[in-house]
Amino acid sequence: MQVLNILQDHYPERLGLSIVINVPFILNAFFKLINPFIDPMTRSKLKFNPKVVEDNIFKADMVMKEWWGGDCDFVYEHDKYWPALVEMCEERSRAWMERWRALGGTVGLREWDYKGGKSQISEKVEVEMSKEIIGTVEVGKAEENGKAVAAEALEASGQETTG
């Protein structure tokens, strides 16, 4: 109950969807036991052994045919994929270590800093937001400049300004 309370009250709406597959009997029984205590919004986001194509969670072309009944016919070839994964991990690890050393190489550096900070997606969103904010500020400045010019013109003609 305490874990549910913490998750539901302190992290509201963090969960998008949770898909749990190959659930053993004991876990399924436990879930059914605690199900009435779970917030209805959270409960609707938990899916145990769903039929992902029929329930419209994924499209058929996104799901493997063998286990999920989709259209994707994926065959894992260890000799092909494993070396690529190991190489990618080693490359990232090397780059992170170089950045960590360049930043001083001390305990207390934030992981965010030496792993490169923001993702490309968040940078693009930030750039777009900056453009929007700058555009709004520029429009505001233009309006202020226009009001100032109008006020000066009215003062020069001897009329009162109203703001």
Residue 88 has pLDDT above 70, yes or no: yes
- Position 68 in a domain: no
Is 135 found in the same domain as 105?
A: no
* Overall number of domains in the chain: 3
CA distances, 123 to each of 132, 136, 162 (Å): 14, 20, 43
Is 93 found in the same domain as 109?
A: yes
Instruction: Check residue 36 and give its pLDDT.
Output: 87
Is 83 found in the same domain as 39?
A: no
Residue 143 has pLDDT above 60, yes or no: no
In the three-class reduction of DSSP (H, G, I as helix; E, B as strand; rest coil), residue 24 is classed as coil
Close Cβ partners of 15 (under 8 Å, ≥ 6 residues apart): 42, 45
- Position 70 in a domain: no
β-bridge pairing 18-20 and 46-48: parallel
CA-to-CA distance for 138 and 143, rounded, in angstroms?
9
Is 54 found in the same domain as 6?
A: yes
- Position 90 in a domain: yes
Q: Where do the H-state alpha helices sit in 11-119?
A: 25-34, 40-43, 65-68, 78-102, 111-114
The domain containing residue 148 runs over which residues? 119-163
- Position 69 in a domain: no
Instruction: Check residue 93 and give its pLDDT.
Output: 92
CA angle in degrees (0–180, nearest 5) for 42-64-17: 10
Regarding predicted confidence, which is higher, 138 or 102?
Answer: 102
User: Among 25-29, 51-55, 142-146, 155-159, which is the least confidently predicted range?
Assistant: 142-146
In this prediction, residues 113-130 reach a mean pLDDT of 60
Is 127 found in the same domain as 108?
A: no
